[in-house]
Amino acid sequence: MRSLFDLTWTEVEALDRGRTVALLPVGAVEAHGPHLPLGTDGVIARAMAEEGGRRLQEAGVETVILPSLHYTAAPFAASFPGTLSVRPKTVKALIGDLAAALLASGFRGLAIVNAHLDPTHLQCLEEAAAAAAQDGLVVAFPNLARRRWARLLTEEFKSGAC
């Protein structure tokens, strides 16, 4: 699995960037009960990106995993020590800037691989994805909180035990 973090600029230049999907793992630094680390969402998002990338490559789609985004809007968990929540406009601006940088580097496809389900955060991602699409990037953002995807979640996930 290729990680942008590990590639040189000449290796990126050699990619067929117009046909390579950039996978952006997105999590949060927030409380997940007393038993899990604050970076749980990031770990899950990275694993999802790796597995999704593997499956896409098996289907003949080239992928590259971007460095994970861990700072986002997390107002739901803001009262817990260690939660690092940023303003929604910061999240939208950052994803917008990343989308513009991908386009400037010749990439045409972005998949947002999200493991943080705070409603404010999800709205930020939806708005940022829509704006990036208007700018010419092909963006996939499967919102796991939507009914279609939520039906696939395990009981453990639905109960909040994870």
Q: Provide the pLDDT confidence category of residue 162 given band limits of 50, 70 and 90.
A: very low
**pLDDT of the residue at 145:** 79
Render pLDDT for 2-48 as a digit per residue (tens, 0 to 9). Answer: 999 999 999 999 999 999 999 999 999 999 999 999 999 999 999 99
Q: What is the pLDDT of residues 44-94, one digit of tens each?
A: 999 999 999 999 999 999 999 999 999 999 999 999 999 999 999 999 999
User: What pLDDT is recorded for position 146?
Assistant: 74
What tokens appear for 116 in the block?
A: 């943080």
66: left (phi over 0), alpha (psi -120 to 50) or beta: beta
DSSP sequence for 93-159: HHHHHHHHHHHHTT--EEEEEE----HHHHHHHHHHHHHHHHTT-EEE---TTSHHHHTTS-HHHHH
Q: What is the mean pLDDT of the chain?
A: 92
Mean of pLDDT values over 93-107: 98
Mean pLDDT to the nearest integer, 97-108: 98
Domains of the chain from N-terminus onward: 4-159 (3.40.50.10310)
pLDDT in tens, 144-154: 877 665 566 66
Whole-prediction pTM value? 0.89
